[in-house]
Chains A and B, each alone.
Chain A
């Protein structure tokens, strides 16, 4: 990435949810810059807050959740201050669009495919009638759906899962957004279709000069699509870097553990690696490094004080005390040092 212009910037973002009178801190002070035209992947296990984090920049948090601190800067506006639907409607679809996880349920089963695309076209491109229809047909064509004129009149149940995901993507890009958030876009699809959908998104990204943010726990997808990776754990980003840096020179123990869990690294006949324990309960205040309790090599200070970000390179930083000059030298696990040779990456 030569172009480092920031398009979307999260600054010390905190998000809380209220559940049965208790407060849950889902996002604990996250800062992250998204560069124009890049493809950023946010990885982490279920419940790490990656979905909540991205939903916050579209105002799509559930009713019991709210941004309690921090800023989300987009085009000179602080989205964290947006309250009314009217304000959010200037962003949703128009500036930032989203592709969701399950294409089987994310289309209205009782509306024609064409009407669902046209709805977005009418809202964001200001077209009407025949023009709107033409734009929708074009959008269908652009996502690789054959015979778009006929498909336009069909209902979602007449489409397969992969085709529906193409329709969802068509809806998203028909709004002409600047940023496309893909929330686990391939999780619900089978492997051959996954690759096609990822290729499609990559192609559209180039063609329409989109910035894409992928949310996923599938490292194969990440390796395939991402320029940069942000590793999220317990509502915090613990490591950010370019794809190469995070895969081949990971610094945070959680990133090590995550990479160790790659099934490609398993030895035949041996049990696959899995991270011991469970993520911390976000209802409680977290002290120190959130991963310390599951990290067998945790330092004493990990339990006491939250580590700051240490820069490894201008593009690579990690939130771990191991990078402090005073820290003892802890090497990443043996097997993930050979990731490059194994080649799980690149042909993902």
Chain B
């Protein structure tokens, strides 16, 4: 087990090393104006001095070694244009917690809601009219087919403008949640979190339903029925557990990706999170910030895959960790 983990971690580091080297080298092709707050006004001499202090005139291998050295110390460099002279760590420290908080909330909600819906749909496939399954499918198809922008706007409008009300019942109540995000108002979290959750709820529901239906048609379920296990117990202890295995792999990745935020939802609700940062950095050509963000994304993706695989190995006994196990 330990050997397997070490091997996988080591391999992940090798992959990261290659990815980061390629990224770093490619980013050196960016126009040099991205290192200056005010390139147009800088003189030739000032430009050369700045480039030299940044070490950008050195040969590429030397730059690369230095970059890895900084990276190991947790230093991502300094922003040149986004917030001039501010270390990127400081920028991230402002932004990440916001995205992470919203992201984790929506992760928990969408996992719970998605699994619940998936189980409901799977169970419904064995009833006469399959109503639950049909309604669930309608929801999933809408979420998948309608552009996310549309239902986010509809949700924002419906949730904040009092469209949902009880006036027709004579009660003076209408749903008016804050339309924009404000870290100090808990209620303002509601709409962005729901927006963030909808897509992945549909995703979890769709796959869990599919895997549960698959599992339910397998022979071991027939044997479990034949040995007299009640239906509910079969669903819980056999079908659900086995259907979760393929989904478990993606959970670490989903959690880590909440760090990156969501571009659309965050700009819609004006959340000061990570979502728009990369696009912003590219627009204003802040080379160092772009570089830092791309590297972080690479690390998060690789870590997500690695953790997913390790988690799989933990929960699925068929994945042999030592590679050689007598099968007799």
Q: Choose, from B177-185, B224-232, B264-272, B294-302, the stretch at the interface.
A: B224-232
With a cutoff of 8 Å between Cβ atoms, the chain B residues found around residue A120 in the complex are 227-229
Q: With A and B bound together, what is the CA distance between A93 and B226 in angstroms?
A: 6
Q: How far is the CB of B214 from chain A (nearest CB, A)?
A: 13
Q: With A and B bound together, what is the CA distance between A111 and B241 in angstroms?
A: 10
In A152-181, which residues have CB < 8 Å from any B CB? Answer: 155, 157-160, 163, 168, 171-172, 175
Q: Contact between A106 and B316 (Cβ–Cβ < 8 Å)?
A: no
Q: Contact between B227 and A108 (Cβ–Cβ < 8 Å)?
A: no
Q: With A and B bound together, what is the CA distance between A93 and B234 in angstroms?
A: 14
Q: Contact between B242 and A106 (Cβ–Cβ < 8 Å)?
A: no
A63-B126, A100-B219 are known contacts. Are A108 and B226 too (CB-CB below 8 A)? no
The winner among B226, B229, B230, B316 for most chain A CB atoms within 10 A is: B226
A105-B219, A160-B328 are known contacts. Are A110 and B242 too (CB-CB below 8 A)? yes
The winner among B224, B237, B316 for most chain A CB atoms within 10 A is: B224
With a cutoff of 8 Å between Cβ atoms, the chain B residues found around residue A89 in the complex are 228, 230
Q: Contact between A58 and B238 (Cβ–Cβ < 8 Å)?
A: no
B317 at the A/B interface (Cβ < 8 Å)? yes
Q: With A and B bound together, what is the CA distance between A111 and B234 in angstroms?
A: 12
A60-B226, A175-B228 are known contacts. Are A108 and B220 too (CB-CB below 8 A)? yes
With a cutoff of 8 Å between Cβ atoms, the chain A residues found around residue B218 in the complex are 105
A60-B222, A155-B317, A168-B223 are known contacts. Are A108 and B242 too (CB-CB below 8 A)? yes
A108-B238, A110-B241, A120-B228 are known contacts. Are A171 and B223 too (CB-CB below 8 A)? yes
Q: Contact between A100 and B317 (Cβ–Cβ < 8 Å)?
A: no
Residue in A closest to B228 when the chains form the complex, CB atoms: A93
The winner among B228, B230, B325 for most chain A CB atoms within 10 A is: B228
In B293-328, which residues have CB < 8 Å from any A CB? Answer: 316-318, 325-328
Q: Contact between A107 and B227 (Cβ–Cβ < 8 Å)?
A: no
B245 at the A/B interface (Cβ < 8 Å)? yes
Q: With A and B bound together, what is the CA distance between A168 and B327 in angstroms?
A: 18
With a cutoff of 8 Å between Cβ atoms, the chain A residues found around residue B224 in the complex are 108, 119
A98 at the A/B interface (Cβ < 8 Å)? yes
Per-residue A-contact encoding for B13-41, CB less than 8 Å = 1, 0 else: 00000000000000000000000000000
A60-B222, A110-B317 are known contacts. Are A123 and B242 too (CB-CB below 8 A)? no
With a cutoff of 8 Å between Cβ atoms, the chain B residues found around residue A60 in the complex are 222, 225-226
Q: With A and B bound together, what is the CA distance between A328 and B230 in angstroms?
A: 55
In A88-118, which residues have CB < 8 Å from any B CB? Answer: 89, 91-94, 97-98, 100, 102, 105-111
With a cutoff of 8 Å between Cβ atoms, the chain B residues found around residue A138 in the complex are none
In B186-221, which residues have CB < 8 Å from any A CB? Answer: 218-220
Q: Contact between A111 and B238 (Cβ–Cβ < 8 Å)?
A: yes
Q: Contact between A106 and B227 (Cβ–Cβ < 8 Å)?
A: no
Residue in B closest to A121 when the chains form the complex, CB atoms: B227
Q: Contact between B222 and A100 (Cβ–Cβ < 8 Å)?
A: yes
Q: Contact between A94 and B228 (Cβ–Cβ < 8 Å)?
A: yes
A120-B227, A158-B327 are known contacts. Are A110 and B219 too (CB-CB below 8 A)? no
Q: How far is the CB of B320 from chain A (nearest CB, A)?
A: 9
Q: How far is the CB of A109 from chain B (nearest CB, A)?
A: 6
Q: Contact between B328 and A58 (Cβ–Cβ < 8 Å)?
A: no
Q: How far is the CB of B211 from chain A (nearest CB, A)?
A: 12
Q: Contact between A109 and B327 (Cβ–Cβ < 8 Å)?
A: no
How many chain A residues touch the partner (CB < 8 A)?
34
Q: How far is the CB of B218 from chain A (nearest CB, A)?
A: 6
With a cutoff of 8 Å between Cβ atoms, the chain B residues found around residue A108 in the complex are 220, 224, 238, 242
With a cutoff of 8 Å between Cβ atoms, the chain A residues found around residue B316 in the complex are 110
Q: Contact between B223 and A85 (Cβ–Cβ < 8 Å)?
A: no
Q: With A and B bound together, what is the CA distance between A89 and B224 in angstroms?
A: 12
With a cutoff of 8 Å between Cβ atoms, the chain A residues found around residue B230 in the complex are 85, 89
Q: How far is the CB of B242 from chain A (nearest CB, A)?
A: 5
A89-B230, A94-B228 are known contacts. Are A107 and B317 too (CB-CB below 8 A)? no
Q: How far is the CB of B311 from chain A (nearest CB, A)?
A: 14
A124 at the A/B interface (Cβ < 8 Å)? yes
Residue in A closest to B318 when the chains form the complex, CB atoms: A157
With a cutoff of 8 Å between Cβ atoms, the chain A residues found around residue B227 in the complex are 92-93, 97-98, 119-120, 123, 171-172, 175
A108-B238, A108-B242 are known contacts. Are A58 and B226 too (CB-CB below 8 A)? yes
Q: How far is the CB of B111 from chain A (nearest CB, A)?
A: 20
Q: Contact between A105 and B220 (Cβ–Cβ < 8 Å)?
A: yes
Q: How far is the CB of B154 from chain A (nearest CB, A)?
A: 38
Q: With A and B bound together, what is the CA distance between A132 and B229 in angstroms?
A: 16
Q: Which of B220, B226, B237, B328 contacts A92 (CB 8 A)?
A: B226
Q: Contact between A100 and B223 (Cβ–Cβ < 8 Å)?
A: yes
A110-B242, A111-B238, A157-B318 are known contacts. Are A123 and B222 too (CB-CB below 8 A)? no
Q: With A and B bound together, what is the CA distance between A85 and B229 in angstroms?
A: 10
Q: With A and B bound together, what is the CA distance between A346 and B224 in angstroms?
A: 35
In B238-269, which residues have CB < 8 Å from any A CB? Answer: 238, 241-242, 245
Q: With A and B bound together, what is the CA distance between A108 and B216 in angstroms?
A: 11
With a cutoff of 8 Å between Cβ atoms, the chain B residues found around residue A111 in the complex are 237-238
Q: Contact between B223 and A157 (Cβ–Cβ < 8 Å)?
A: no
With a cutoff of 8 Å between Cβ atoms, the chain A residues found around residue B219 in the complex are 100, 102, 105-106
Q: With A and B bound together, what is the CA distance between A109 and B231 in angstroms?
A: 19
Q: Which of A98, A102, A155 contacts B318 (CB 8 A)?
A: A155
Q: With A and B bound together, what is the CA distance between A111 and B237 in angstroms?
A: 9
Q: Contact between A107 and B223 (Cβ–Cβ < 8 Å)?
A: yes
Q: How far is the CB of B193 from chain A (nearest CB, A)?
A: 33
Q: Contact between B318 and A100 (Cβ–Cβ < 8 Å)?
A: no
With a cutoff of 8 Å between Cβ atoms, the chain B residues found around residue A109 in the complex are 220, 242, 317-318
| Leading 5 A-B pairs by shortest Cβ distance | A93-B228, A92-B228, A105-B219, A98-B226, A93-B227
| Sample of 15 A–B contacts (CB below 8 Å) | A60-B222, A60-B226, A91-B228, A92-B226, A92-B228, A93-B227, A93-B229, A97-B227, A100-B223, A110-B241, A110-B317, A123-B229, A124-B228, A158-B328, A159-B328
New A-B contacts (17) at CB < 8 Å, excluding given A100-B222, A109-B220, A159-B328: A85-B231, A92-B225, A92-B227, A93-B229, A97-B226, A98-B226, A98-B227, A100-B219, A105-B220, A106-B219, A106-B223, A109-B242, A110-B317, A111-B238, A123-B227, A158-B326, A158-B328
